[in-house]
């Protein structure tokens, strides 16, 4: 049975809440590494957890939103293209941060991890506001703010 849009919103918002906790842990590890209070190994564990959870979330978000996003309204194809571009960027940055060659430069990884975490929070806020909004991702066919004039 296909999910309703309400169910899609609920699943993705719950994932965003969980991901925010993982992001917070990665931020703490990165700040600790920059301050000399956390080891490169601790940072690596936090970044690996972020990678694992973010990649799973991106796949689920694409599975749930791609089939319907382009059809929602006239701007749907643009929203879908932006979602795909943002996800490709996030995957590319994660690949660098978790690659073998990154770990001799843990201070650089720590700084970029903080930057990526800020970007992820901003991206989730955008998605919550623009993609998961009840006015956009609806289950009924009523158009809000529509005029018959």
Which pLDDT tens digit goes with each residue over 62-120? 999 999 988 888 888 999 999 999 999 999 999 999 988 887 778 899 999 999 999 99
Which pLDDT tens digit goes with each residue over 25-37? 999 999 999 999 9
Cβ contacts of 111-114, under 8 Å, gap ≥ 24: 111/30, 111/34, 113/26, 113/27, 113/29, 113/30, 113/43, 113/46, 113/47, 113/50, 114/27, 114/30, 114/31, 114/34
Percent of the chain whose predicted confidence (pLDDT) is above 90 = 70
Hunting for tokens 């506001």 — which residue is that?
129
Paired tokens of 106: 């843990």
Q: What is the DSSP letter of 134?
A: T
């Amino acid at each position: 049975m296909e999910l309703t849009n309400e169910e899609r919103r609920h699943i993705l918002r719950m994932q965003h809440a969980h991901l925010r906790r993982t992001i917070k842990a990665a931020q703490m590890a990165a700040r600790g590494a920059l301050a000399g209070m956390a080891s490169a190994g601790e940072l690596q564990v936090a970044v690996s957890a972020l990678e694992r959870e973010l990649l799973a979330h991106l796949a689920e978000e694409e599975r749930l939103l791609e089939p319907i996003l382009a059809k929602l309204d006239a701007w749907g194809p643009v929203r879908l293209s932006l979602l795909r571009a943002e996800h490709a960027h996030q995957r590319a940055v994660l690949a660098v941060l978790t690659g073998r060659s990154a770990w001799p430069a843990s201070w650089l990884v720590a700084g970029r991890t903080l930057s990526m975490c800020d970007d992820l929070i901003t991206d989730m806020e955008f998605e919550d506001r623009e993609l998961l909004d009840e006015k956009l991702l609806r289950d009924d066919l009523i158009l809000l703010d529509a005029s018959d004039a």
